[in-house]
């Protein structure tokens, strides 16, 4: 409507003839102009001709209107009117109203914000738990690969909530609390989500950090509100993830405890087994640090049952890989059983990341399916880091690295209890210039002394090979020495594998802030015992070093063949290492292609 009015006004303003100012003067001199209107602000002149039709015209004059032109109009009897435009209402009052309106708007904004903050303060003590019902099952036990024992115990809790009369007939009482304990990434939260899908009862999920706020008493208030919400639902499951954030030992650590966290824990203890018994509510919690939890939280009647969710075994890793490979296009040359055997110690989250990294590598190289090489690359990427394609080694460094890795590979091949060699490469990866990968034939749960000593011999293989072939010792054995020393120290101090120390064990130094006193972590053996421990550790390392040197000297030809093969192919597999070591008994010895030098510096 406004646009239409503006258009009409514009059209009105543009009607009539357009004259230049000189033409306008000629019309005046000719006596054809009857009257004009002069706009003093814009200099616009509108008027009418002295004819029958009173034709309108317009032109633009000078500002101010010249006196001689004014006399010209007067001499030719032209009626002249001056027009002074008046400002509109908006133009007149807008500057005056701008600041008052701005101030009023600011106060309204502050008032609404204060009301919102007051609303948040009034609701700050409410629980932040998310409630799931049977209408949103999401994950089920079928989506959890392996862990049959864990699922059996959890399923028992679900069955009790579904069919309480079956347990009540013989007087059985279901545990009030189930604590899922395991390393990070083993699927504790995934199992809890599966419980939500299988339960058939409301499932309340909350994180331990949701109870903590800067205001005193908020955590305890949220615990009360959480259990009140659960009681209103009748039978329900409460899941608390990362419960160690609020369940740590009270009064422990440097400077005492944390009052707000302790009050939250006290309220949780009271709600789980307080004066009023709570029936039909089961609490499930997950943590990877059970050693820092308060003993009152773990006593019978609260968390009656602890369910360990360990790192997956070979068969469980295979099942997990199959779950994550369902939606992937896997090449027929991929044997997931071999991949599972090559990933000992990996959690479910790490296996999922492994499959995803393989898929990403397949896309980057333009493949249509995920091949065995993609999985090999993904495992190297996860375990050791990105391959450094841009790093160029000199011939001397490359040959030294080849003999270093060959020393590891030959020792691992010739020792009976050592894990077999899977792959050897001198391509830089992560922080290493070369890598020797060993894969266990089967998962190990305990380690005897022979295996540990042979693992130290294998770790010493790179350093001894450099010393034996080139007569130098480089920085490439840094990580090997760290691993060997730490393993030897544990053999002496923790595992009782020293004749002089005998059947005594002292644990490693704990971390003060995780629930223990500083004095509790003090060394609990004398200086004399510490000196004996150091001597025994040194003796183990010296014996392993001597054993490694004898082994590589006896298999010098095999060492040369493996190193030459690495220099030629850069990467060889374990079967090729075994073949070259067997061939080394008849092959003539090889010699290095350069003079020994002490200027090597590689990281293994």
Question: Domains in the chain, ordered, with CATH?
Answer: 2-83 (3.30.720.210), 130-308 (3.40.50.300), 322-384 (1.10.8.60), 395-583 (1.20.58.760)
Distance CA 485, CA 480 (A): 9
Q: Out of 405, 466, 549, 576, pick the active-site residue.
A: 405
**In the 8-state DSSP scheme, what is residue 255?**
T
Summarised one tens digit per residue, pLDDT across range 433-452 is 788 888 777 777 788 889 99
The answer to whether residues 154 and 178 touch, using CB atoms and an 8 Å cutoff, is yes
| pLDDT at residue 221 in the model | 77
| pLDDT at residue 258 in the model | 59
The Cβ-side half-sphere exposure at 433, using a 13 Å CA radius, reads: 26
Cα→Cα distances 33→28, 59, 232, Å: 5, 13, 94
Distance CA 453, CA 463 (A): 16
Residue 262's contacts (CB-CB under 8 Å, 6 or more residues apart) are 250, 251
The most distant pair of C-alpha atoms in the chain lies apart, rounded to whole Å, by 136
Task: Answer positive or negative: Cα dihedral of 409, 413, 416, 421.
Answer: positive
| pLDDT at residue 229 in the model | 80
Give the residues of the chain that fall short of pLDDT 70: 1-16, 53, 85-92, 113-138, 210, 212-217, 251-259, 274-279, 384-392, 430, 507-523, 585-604
Give Cα 62 to chain centroid, integer Å.
74
Spell out the alpha helix ranges (H) of 385-500.
395-414, 449-470, 478-493
| pLDDT at residue 392 in the model | 64
Enumerate the β-bridge partners of residue 248. Answer: 293
Parallel/antiparallel/unpaired status of strands 33-39 and 44-49: antiparallel
Across 577-601, b (16+ Cβ under 10 Å) vs e yields bbbbbeebeeeeeeeeeeeeeeebe
Distance CA 387, CA 392 (A): 12
Summarised one tens digit per residue, pLDDT across range 75-90 is 877 778 777 766 666 6
Across 213-228, b (16+ Cβ under 10 Å) vs e yields beeeebbbbbbbbbbe
Spell out the alpha helix ranges (H) of 291-436.
295-298, 314-324, 336-341, 348-364, 372-384, 395-414
| pLDDT at residue 433 in the model | 79
Query: Which of 203, 180, 182, 183 shows the shortest CA–CA distance to 193?
Result: 203
Q: Which residue has the tokens 């000189």?
A: 22
The answer to whether residues 369 and 410 touch, using CB atoms and an 8 Å cutoff, is no
Residue 62's contacts (CB-CB under 8 Å, 6 or more residues apart) are 21, 43, 69
Quick check: is 198 catalytic?
no
- Tokens linked to 53: 């039709």
């Amino acid at each position: 409507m406004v646009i239409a009015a503006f258009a009409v006004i514009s059209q009105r303003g543009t009607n009539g003839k357009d004259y230049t100012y000189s033409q306008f003067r000629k019309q005046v001199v000719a006596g054809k102009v009857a009257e004009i209107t002069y706009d003093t602000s814009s200099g616009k002149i509108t008027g009418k001709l002295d004819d029958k039709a009173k034709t309108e015209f317009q032109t633009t004059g000078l500002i101010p209107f010249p006196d001689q032109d004014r006399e010209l109009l007067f001499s030719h009897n032209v009626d002249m009117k001056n027009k002074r435009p008046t400002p509109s209402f908006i133009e007149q009052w807008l500057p005056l109203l701008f600041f008052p309106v701005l101030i009023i708007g600011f106060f309204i904004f502050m008032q609404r914000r204060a009301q919102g903050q007051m609303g948040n303060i009034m609701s700050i003590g409410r629980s932040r738990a998310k409630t799931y019902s049977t209408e949103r099952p999401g994950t089920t036990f079928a989506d959890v690969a392996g862990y049959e024992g864990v699922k059996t115990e959890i399923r028992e809790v679900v069955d009790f909530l579904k069919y309480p009369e079956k347990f009540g007939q013989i007087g059985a009482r279901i545990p009030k609390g189930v604590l899922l304990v395991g390393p990070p990434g083993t699927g504790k939260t995934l199992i809890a989500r599966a419980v939500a899908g299988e339960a058939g009862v409301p499932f309340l999920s909350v994180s331990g950090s949701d109870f903590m706020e800067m205001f005193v008493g908020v955590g305890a208030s949220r615990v009360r509100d959480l259990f009140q919400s659960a009681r209103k639902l009748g039978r329900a499951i409460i899941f608390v993830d990362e419960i160690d954030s609020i369940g740590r030992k009270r009064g422990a650590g440097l400077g005492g405890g944390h009052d707000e966290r302790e009050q939250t824990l006290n309220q949780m203890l009271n709600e789980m087994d307080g004066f009023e018994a709570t029936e039909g509510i089961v609490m499930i919690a997950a943590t990877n640090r059970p050693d820092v939890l308060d003993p009152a939280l773990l006593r019978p009647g609260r968390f009656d049952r602890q369910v360990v969710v360990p790192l997956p075994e070979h068969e469980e890793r295979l099942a997990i890989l199959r779950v994550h490979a369902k939606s992937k296009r896997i090449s027929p040359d991929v044997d997931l059983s071999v991949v599972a055997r090559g990933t000992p110690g990996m959690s479910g989250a790490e296996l999922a990341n492994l499959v995803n990294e393989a898929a990403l590598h397949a896309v980057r190289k333009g493949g249509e399916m995920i091949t065995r090489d993609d999985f090999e690359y993904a495992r190297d990427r996860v375990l050791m880091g990105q391959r450094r394609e841009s790093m160029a080694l000199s011939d001397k460094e490359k040959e030294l690295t080849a003999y270093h890795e060959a020393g590891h590979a030959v020792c691992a091949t010739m020792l009976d209890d050592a894990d077999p060699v899977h792959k050897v490469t001198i391509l830089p990866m992560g922080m290493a210039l070369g890598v020797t990968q060993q894969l266990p034939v089967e998962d190990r749960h305990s380690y005897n002394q022979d295996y540990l000593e042979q693992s130290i011999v294998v770790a010493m293989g790179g350093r001894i090979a450099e010393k034996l072939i080139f007569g130098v010792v480089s920085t490439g054995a840094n990580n090997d020495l760290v691993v060997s020393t730490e393993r030897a120290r544990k053999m002496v101090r923790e595992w009782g594998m020293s004749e002089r120390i005998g059947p005594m064990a002292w644990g490693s130094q704990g971390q003060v802030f995780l629930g223990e006193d500083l004095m509790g972590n003090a060394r609990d053996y004398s200086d004399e015992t510490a000196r004996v421990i150091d001597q025994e550790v040194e003796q183990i390392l010296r014996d392993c070093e001597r054993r490694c040197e004898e082994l590589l000297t006896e298999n010098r030809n095999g060492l040369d063949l493996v190193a030459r093969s690495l220099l030629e192919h850069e990467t060889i597999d374990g079967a090729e290492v075994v073949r070259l070591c067997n061939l080394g008994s008849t092959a003539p010895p090889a010699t290095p292609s350069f003079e020994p030098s002490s200027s090597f510096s590689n990281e293994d």
